[in-house]
Structure 1
C-alpha cells in the first residue's frame, strides 16, 4: 500500500492532485477500518473499491489500467480483512479486554486531564491514592495550543465559496458594510504585525468552479503586489474574498476594495470622498453628540442647587462625557482629521477633478468619472490593505501617471490586478502569478522582471521534464528487454524500483498564445485622411477642438493622449465623419476604408446573437466555417464562437470586434482605448498585429506599453488644441508629472 499514490498516477496520468490525494486517503481509511472489530464487520470491500473505480474513470483513467489497479487493491484489502478477522477469533475483541492498570492510566489521561484543571481530587493509581503534581496552568496552556493546531488543520480544508460574495452591498449600506469589515475598535492595533498569511485554502465560484486549490497567500506589509494572470482565472474573485474577510485576515488589518463605480447623488465629489472614511465620520458624529449633551448639561445645571443629588448626577455624567470626548479627539488626532479635506482635494485633483468639478454633485458625472471617485475614496481612507481591480481602465495617461506616483509612496500594502505592463513596472515591488488553481510568487520583481524570470522557469521545467521522460524511456526499454532474462532479471527489477521512485513531473503549462493579424490593404496615394483648420463645439461658447491640423497616412503611427474630457474621442468622430466640424475641412480619399474600434464597442454588438451569426450578418458572403476559422485566429474558438455574446467576457467581446475590423480590409485603423479588458496574451497579440499592419494607425490609449510598442508620434490634446508633442510617451509623462509637482498635486502629506 506504500506506493498506492504512484500507482494511481500511473493508471490515471491526468488525475487532479486533489482527486489523487482523496483516493489515497479513502484506501487508507478502508485499510484502517479492517483493524477495528466493529467496522470490519460492516465493510463491503467490493462495493468500496467499485466506488473508487468510478472516481478514477471519471478523472480520465484508462479503463484497463484502472481495472487492474482496482483488482489489486481489492485483493490486498480482502486479504488484510481476512487476516484481521482470523486474529479476532483467536484473541477476541481487544478493545473490550481488561488492561494493565498502568496502560489504563495512560489511555485515560486525555479524559482525566480536563478534571485536573477544575479539581484537586487525587488520582487512583494501582489501588492507592496519589496527589497530582500536574501544573494546571501549563497543562491548560498546552491543551489550548493543541486545540488551536487542530482547529487550524481543520480550517485549511474549508472551501471559501465566492458565490457568497456576489451579492453586492448597496451604496446606502456603505457605512454599515465598512464598519462590519473594519470595526471601529480595530483602529488601535497596539503595534501588532500587519503581515498577511493565509495557508491552505480553496476558493470556488459557486459550487462547481474551483479557482484556487490548497493555495497560500502571503502579503508583507508595505509591499505592493501586482496580481497577474489570464482573464477568467479568478483574480477579481480573490480580491472580493479578501475584501469581505472570507479569508482569514486578522481583524486589526483594515481593508478596502475599489469594486464598482460610485452611485451618484447630491453630495459633492469632495464630500463623497470625505464620507468614505467611515471611522472619521463616526468619530465626528460622536464628538458632535457629546458636545451637544455637554451644552444641555450646562443649561440644566442652572435649574438645580449646588449639592443636590440631581447636580451630582449631572456632574458624574459630565465627567464621563469629557472622558469619552478626550478619547474621541485622540482618535481624530491620530487619523489627522483636521488635514482630511486638503488630502481629499489633493487626491481628486490628481485624478483629473478641477476645483470646480470637486464641488459638483456626483450624480452629474459619467460612469468613468464615478469610477475615479471610487478610486479617490479608497486612496483617501488609506487602509492597511488596498485592493485595486484594473484601476487604469478608466484613467487617461496623466491620471494613470499620477496614480502610479501616488502608490509608489503608499505606506501600507497594495494588491492590484492590472494588465497594464508599464503601470505594474512603476508600482509593483512583487508579482503574484495566478494560474492552474495556484499562486506563484516572484519577489522583488516588476512586471518585466517577472516575465523574463517566468520564461526562464518554464524553459528549465521543460528541460527537466524532457530529461526525465528520456530517462524513463531508457529504463523502461531495459526492463521490457530483460525482464524475463534469467541473467539480467535482478538488474531489471532494480531498474523497476528506480522507475517507481522517480517523482512524477508534469509538462509545464504554457498559456495559449493568440495571433491577431490585420490584412495588408492596397496602397492609396496621399493625402488619405486630412484635417485642416478643424474646430468643433457642442456649445457655441465652448470650443472642444480649435484649429486642428493633422494628416494620417498609410505609414502613420499616431498616439493621441491627454486628460479625459479634452476632446480626444470627439476628434476621432470628426475624422470618421460621425460629427461635422464647426469650421475647417476633413478630406478623405474616396477609396479609403476605415476600421473603427470604439471605446464603448459593446454597443456595436447584438449580444443576443453568437459571434458567427453577428459576423455573417455584418459581412455576408462567407460560410460559417470560414467565420469560425477567422474568429479562432483571434482567440474565439470552439464553442465560444457559437455562444450568445452576452455570455462572453469583456476581453472576448473585444476580440470579436477586432476580428470584424479585418473583414473590412481597412487602410487606416482608428482605435479608441483598444486595450481595455484584454489580458497579457491578448495585449501582446494586438501589439504584434498593429506593428505588422501595413496601413495607418490613429490610437487613443492609456496603455503606455502599447503606445511604446506601436506608435512613433505623440499628439497631445490640451485646452482645445491638438498638437504634435516633441518627444516620446515617457517624455510626455515626465512633462505631466513636472506640472503636477509644481502645483503640489502629487506630493503626499
Structure 2
C-alpha cells in the first residue's frame, strides 16, 4: 500500500513520528506474513488490523478517517492473503521442500549462494529435518576467533561487555580448569624480573549481558601486594567486575597471573589433596614436561648407538639433546622458584586450616557436599598463589574457625588480593584498602579498613551535603538580588556583577542519598521459665557414634546466644533437637507449652515461590490476613512499595532473605532460631538485622560466621566441638584468639 505515511498523517494529524513509524513497520510485517506459507495459516487479519486501529485512535486519530484507513488496510492485506492461498493450492507448501541440486550446482560459489537460497524461497538458516549431522566447524577455533573480535571491538570503543558468541558454541561444554587457566595465564619462560605487577586501567565502561551499564568512565588501580575490599549495595555489579578481571576482559598485563574463586569444584574421583596439587597447572605441566623430556633423552641415547660417531644423524640427535637439556634446565629453575618440593605439605596445611581432616583429604572430591567443594575451590586458589587473587564472598561458605584461618593466611599473602565481602570483621582484618562501588564509579579509600572507610564515607557525605546546601543557598541569594535589581539603573552594575559570579560557580551534583532499611521483629508476650532447656541430652543416629553427648544448655526470653564451631560438629543437629525435629537418645528437652519459635534457614529462602509476588506467596503460605496487612508486615522488613507486588525472581538475594524473615515472624514467635541469617545481606541489611535483633523482646539463638553481627547482638557464646556443646567463657573475639592459638600450636597458620 503506497503513501501509508501520508494516509496516517491524514487520519491522525497529531500522531507522534515514533508511533507512525511503528504502524508502518507493523503493516510491512503483516504484508510479509501473508506471503509466508506457515505464517499465513496462523494469521488473523481482523485482530491484527483492529490492533492498528486502536493504536491510531489512542494517538489522537479522527474516528471516521481511522475507520476508513483500517478498512483499506484490511482489504489490501486480504487480497495478498487470498492470492497466496490460491498459489499454495497449485504448488503446495514449498517451505518443506528439499533443495534442488541442479539449482545449487548453478550457484555453487560463495558470491551467489545467498541468491540460490533466495530462489528456493529460503530466508535464514536451512532447517535440517533428516539425520542430525555434526558440524565440521572447529568450535574451539571459532570461539577463539570470536573472542579476539570481541576484544578488538571492546578496545576500540573502550567498552567492555559480556560477549554473545556464535550459537554453534555449546555453552554447556565449558573448558576444563587446566585449559582455561593456561589460556588466561600462559606459561612464560621469559624473565618477568623488573616488570611491575601493579594494575592501572584508565577510563573504561563495563556492562552486563543485557546492556545495563554498571561502570562509566571508571579507573581501576591496584598496587601489588595490597589487599582490596570491594563494597557496595547488592546488585551494584561487584561480582561482574571480578569476572571481567578474571577473564582479562579488562586490560590486565599478561605477565600477571589471575585466579578467581566463584563456583564450587566439580566432583570426580580425584582425591581432595591431589585436586589441590593439580590446581597449580604450571607445576603440573612442568612436571609432565620434565618426565617427557627425560624419556626422550633416554630414547636419544639409545638411538645414538645405532649410528656411527660423527655421522649426520648423530649430530642431529646431539643438537636435539642439547635443546632438551637447556629446556630441562629452565623447567628445573621454574620448579625451584615455585618450591615444588614443598607443594604437598603446603596443600595439606591449607586444607587442614579450612576444616579438612587428614582422613578427609584422602577422600574423592565427589564425596563432598556443595559447601565443602566451595572450600576446595578456595584451597586450590590459595595453593596456586596467583599474582592477583579474586575472592567473591569467601566467608559465606566458611565457619568461624575457617574464617579466622583464612584471615590470618591472607594477612601474609605476598601478592594482590581483591575480595568482595559484606563481612565487616573479615574486611577489618584483611583489607589494606577499600574500593566503594556506587553510581557507576569506583571510589578509593587507601590505607583504610572497613570501619575507617565507613566513618570517612559518612564524613564525606556530610561535607558534600553541607557544601551543596550552602551553594544552593548562595545561588538563591544571588538570584534574588539579580531578579530584583536587573532593570534598576542605579543597581544594574551590581546585578551584572552577581550574574558573573553566578555563572562562575561550579555546578555541584546533589549528594547521593544513603539507602536505609529498617527491620522490626514483632513484640511477643512474656512466658514463664523454663522456655527451652536441655538436660544431659545425648543424640546420635546410633548409640556407638554420638553427635551430641551430655549437653546442658537453656534459652530464656532475654537470651542472645551465638552457636559457633567448625562445620560438621553438630550445630544443625542441636538446632533440630531444640526444635523437637529429632528425639534425643537420652536426657530431657523441656519446653514451655505456649512457646512459639521462628526458625530461619537458607532452605526457607530457597523454598520461596519465585513466580509469585511476596504478598501472594504469603497469603497462600500463611492465610488469614488481608493484602494490606501482608504489605504492612513486609514493610517492617524493608520490602516496601512495589517490591511486595513484583515477582520474587526479580528481587535480590538480600530482598528474598527479608521476605523469609517477614514470613517466620507472622506467628509472633517468642524465640528466634537463625541459621546463617547474614548470608546475602549487604551492609544496610546487616545493620537493619543487627538493630532489629537487639530490640527484639524475645530470645535469640543464631548460628553465624559473621563476627561483627555476633559481637553486636550476642552476649553469650556456645561452642560446639568434640561431640558436645558448652558455654564459652568470653566474647567472640576471645573465641577467635583461642582458635588461632590452637592453630598456631599445630603449625597450621604460619606457613609462608
Q: Deviations over 1:280-308 (max 9, x none)?
A: 11111111110111122233233333334
Deviation at 1:503, TM superposition (A): 1.2
Task: Give yes or no for the alignment of 1:487 onto 2:490.
Answer: yes
Alpha-carbon shift at residue 652 of structure 1 (Å):
1.3
Q: Distance in 2 between matches of 1:160 and 1:683?
A: 32
Pairing of 1:34-45 with structure 2 (within 5 A):
none
State the Cα deviation string for residues 439-483 of structure 1 (Å, max 9, x = none): 011111000000111111111111101100110110111111112
Q: Does residue 262 of structure 1 match 2:250?
A: no
Q: Which residue of 2 aligns with 1:444?
A: 447
Counterpart position of 1:369: 372
Select between 305-314 and 321-330 the one with higher mean Cα deviation: 305-314
- Contact kept? 1:713, 1:724, Cα under 8 Å: yes
Partner Cα distance (1:475, 1:688) in 2: 45
Distance 1:543 1:170, change over 3 A: farther
Instruction: Write the distance in 1 (CA, Å) between the matches of 2:171 and 2:373.
Output: 17
Q: CA deviation at 1:313?
A: 2.6
Report the alpha carbon displacement of residue 403 of structure 1 after superposing the two structures with TM. 0.1
Match of 2:396 in 1: 393
Corresponding residue for 1:158? 158
Report if aligned partners of 2:675, 2:704 keep a CA contact under 8 Å in 1. Answer: yes
Q: CA deviation at 1:209?
A: 1.1
3-state DSSP of counterpart to 1:303? coil
Distance (Å, rounded) in 2 between the aligned partners of 1:524 and 1:170: 58
Matched, 1:249 2:280: no
CA contact (8 A) 1:156 1:200 kept: no
What is the CA–CA distance in structure 1 between the aligned matches of 2:156 and 2:550, rounded to whole Å? 65
Is 2:735 the counterpart of 1:732?
A: yes
- Verify the 8 A CA contact 1:157 1:202 in the aligned structure 2: no
Please report how far the alpha carbon of residue 358 of structure 1 lies from its aligned counterpart in structure 2 after TM superposition. 0.6
Task: Rate the CA distance shift 1:267–1:301 in 2: closer, same or farther, 3 A.
Answer: same
**Contact 2:154 2:161 (8 Å CA) reproduced:** no
The 3-state SS of whatever aligns with 2:359 is: helix
Which residue of the partner structure matches residue 606 of structure 1?
A: 609
Q: 1:501 aligns with which of 499, 504, 519?
A: 504
Q: Partners in 2 of 1:568 and 1:667 — Cα distance?
A: 21
User: What's the offset of the Cα at 1:602?
Assistant: 2.3
Aligned position for 1:707: 710
Residue 299 of structure 1: which of 284, 299, 302 is its match?
A: 302
Q: 1:170 to 1:280 in 2, by over 3 A?
A: farther
SS of 1:262's equivalent in the other structure is coil
C-alpha distance in structure 2 between counterparts of 1:154 and 1:167, whole Å: 23
Structure 2 contact 231–420 (Cα < 8 Å) conserved: yes
Question: How far apart, in 2, do the equivalents of 1:502 and 1:162 lie?
Answer: 41
Q: Secondary structure at the match of 1:286?
A: helix
Q: For 1:79-90, list aligned pairs within 5 A.
A: none
Match of 2:632 among 601, 609, 629: 629
Between 594-603 and 393-402, report the one with greater CA deviation: 594-603
Q: What is the 5 A alignment of 1:227-376? A: 227-376=230-379
Across the two proteins, how many residue pairs are aligned to each other? Answer: 599
- Are 1:638 and 2:641 an aligned pair? yes
Q: Deviations over 1:29-79 (max 9, x none)?
A: xxxxxxxxxxxxxxxxxxxxxxxxxxxxxxxxxxxxxxxxxxxxxxxxxxx
- C-alpha deviation, 1:187, in angstroms: 6.9
Q: Distance in 2 between matches of 1:494 and 1:643?
A: 54
Q: Provide closer, same or farther for how the CA distance between residues 585 and 154 of structure 1 changes in structure 2, counting only shifts above 3 A.
A: closer
> Shift of the alpha carbon at 1:610?
1.6
Distance 1:296 1:152 in 2: 45
Q: Show structure 1 runs of 5+ residues with no match.
A: 1-150
Query: SS where residue 397 of structure 2 aligns?
Result: coil
Out of 551, 554, 560, the position equivalent to 1:551 is 554
Paired residue secondary structure (1:460) = helix
Deviates more, 1:556-565 or 1:595-604: 595-604
Q: Spell out, residue by residue over 1:171-207, the C-alpha distance to the aligned partner (whole angstroms, 9 max, x if none).
A: 7521111111111017731221111111111111124
The verdict on how the C-alpha distance between 1:154 and 1:500 changes in structure 2, with shifts beyond 3 A counting, is farther
Change in CA separation of 1:744 and 1:526 when aligned onto 2, cut-off 3 Å = same
Question: Which residue of structure 2 lines up, in the alignment, with residue 68 of structure 1?
Answer: none
> What TM-score results when the alignment is normalised by the length of structure 2?
0.77
Alignment match, 1:692: 695
Please state if 1:521 is matched with 2:524: yes
Once the 2 structures are TM-superposed, how far is the Cα of residue 738 of structure 1 from its aligned partner?
Answer: 0.4
Partner of 1:732, secondary structure, is helix
Q: Provide Cα deviations, 1:618-652, integer angstroms capped at 9, x if missing partner.
A: 22222222222322332223333223223322211
1:252: how far off?
A: 0.8
Cα contact 1:344–1:380 (8 A) shared by 2? yes
Question: Retained in 1: the 8 A contact 2:189–2:330?
Answer: no
**Does residue 572 of structure 1 match 2:575?**
yes
Higher deviation after alignment, 663-672 or 637-646: 637-646
Distance apart, 1:152 and its partner CA: 13
Decide which moves more: 206-215 or 550-559: 206-215
Is the CA contact 2:161–2:211 (under 8 Å) kept in the aligned structure 1? no
Measured after TM superposition, the shift of residue 543 of structure 1 is 1.1
Aligned 8 A contact 2:523 2:668 in 1: yes
| Stretch of structure 1 that moved more, 484-493 or 679-688 | 484-493
Whole-angstrom CA distance in 2 between matches of 1:596 and 1:646: 23
Residue of structure 1 in register with 2:209 after alignment: 206
SS of 2:610's equivalent in the other structure is coil
Unaligned residue ranges in structure 2 (runs of 5+):
1-150
CA apart distance, 1:504: 1.4
Q: CA–CA distance in 2 between the matches of 1:446 and 1:156?
A: 37
Could you say which residue in structure 1 is the equivalent of 2:664?
Answer: 661
CA RMSD of aligned residues (A): 2.0
| Deviation (angstroms), 1:586 | 1.5
Contact 2:532 2:554 in 1 (8 A): yes
